[in-house]
Amino acid sequence: MSNRGPLAVAFIAGMLMIGDYFLDWGPLNSYAEWVQKYYIIIAAFAIVLGVASLFKLHLGKLKRKEDGWRYSIVTFFGFFAMIVTGLFMTSGDLTGTKHPWNAWLYTNVQLPLGATMFSLLAFFIASAAYRAFRARSLEATLLLLAACLVMLGQVPILTGGVFESLPEIKQWILDIPNMASKRAIMIGVGLGMMSTALKIIFGIERTYLGGSEE
């Protein structure tokens, strides 16, 4: 009962966007353009919820002196450092992320942390390969073989004789079996996305709305 209104809203909102794709009509096309702006504004409001959740989590840890509560102070320190420099400080015309202190924090704290986390992939990819590349079945053997051929084809450290063809073999693997699989997966994903989206618009799938007022 309580979800009828929202389901109707989902239906109308969805049908209007589908209509915009197929129809050339001023009011509808203008609405669809404005939807993009509405979207990011709602996302901006939603970040307040996110911050409230983050605060609740860490204040709770501080209050109850849970394991690792001191690190919550670090989180608050980082958060407020960025907020103060990004929202409240000005340096001439420079505000927000252009403020020198905010930019300094971004360049020397956020960027290196992100880049280092990204670089951990080199170690993890090696550990994943070491564990997974045991040819226990035909499927695993094919995976292993394809990975090795493509790796060697990209960086031809082995030369002479049959190894001269490695770059060509690599390209063939990428152009034929890889392309065939990717096409099939994309087709399946496209149909799956359409099906899920239609179920939402027609109200067949309504779990995303949650429930009652209890």
Partner 1 sequence: MIFNFLNLIFQIQIKEGKGPVFLVLVLFICALVFFLDKARKGASFKIRKIAGLDAVNEAIGRATEMGKSILYTTGLETASHIATIASLTILSRVAKRAARYGTRLQVPSFDPIVMTLSQEIVRESYLEEGMIDSFRKDDIFYLTQEQFAYTAAVEGVLIREKPATVFLMGYFYAESLLLAETGNSIGAIQIAGTDAVTQLPFFIVSCDYTLIGEELYAASAYLSEDSSIISSLKAQDFGKALLWIFLFIGSIFTFFGSVKFLSIIGGSS
Partner 2 sequence: MIFNLIAPFNTPEGLGIWIAAFLTLCIFSFLYKDNPFYKFAEHLFVGVSTGYYISIYYWNTLKPNLIDELRKGFSALGEGNVQKAFGLDENGSIIAEPHLRMVVPLMLGIFIFLIFISRKNAWLSRISFAWYIGVASGIAIPASMATRVLIQAQGSVRDFCIFNAGCANAAGLDPQTATTSLWINSALLLIGTLCAVAYFFFSLPSKGVLKAMNKVGIYFLMISFGASFGYTVMARISLLIGRFQFLFYDWLGINI
Q: Burial letters for 145-180: b for 16+ Cβ neighbours within 10 Å, e otherwise? A: ebeeebebbeeeeeeeeeeeebeebbeebeeeeeee
Q: 102: exposed, middle or buried (C-beta count within 10 Å: 0-12, 13-18, 19+)?
A: buried
CB of 81 to partner 1, least distance (A): 15
Based on CB atoms, which residue is closest to partner 1, 27 or 92? 27
| Tokens linked to 129 | 């390969």
Stretch that binds partner 1, among 56-64, 81-89, 95-103, 160-168 (CB under 8 A): 56-64
Cα–Cα dist 3/8, whole Å: 9
Residue length, the chain?
214
| Tokens linked to 137 | 């079945």
Exactly one of 12, 43, 59, 151 binds partner 1 (CB under 8 A); that residue is 43
Residue 207 sits in the site that holds partner 1 (CB under 8 A): yes
Residue 135 sits in the site that holds partner 1 (CB under 8 A): no
What is 137-165 written as a DSSP string? SHHHHHHHHHHHHHHHHHS--S-SGGGGG
- If DSSP codes are grouped into helix, strand and coil, which group holds residue 204? coil
Among partner 2, partner 1, none, residue 159 binds (CB under 5-8 Å by kind): none
Cα–Cα dist 83/101, whole Å: 11
CB of 66 to partner 2, least distance (A): 13
| Tokens linked to 17 | 């966007």
Binding mask 3-42 for partner 1 (x = CB under 8 A): ---------------x--xxxxxxxx----------x--x
Residue 100 sits in the site that holds partner 1 (CB under 8 A): no
Based on CB atoms, which residue is closest to partner 1, 129 or 148? 129
Residue ranges in contact with partner 1 by CB under 8 A: 18, 21-28, 39, 42-43, 46-51, 53-54, 56-57, 60, 67-68, 110, 113-114, 117-118, 120-121, 124-125, 127-129, 131-132, 143, 182, 185-189, 191-200, 202, 204-205, 207-212, 214
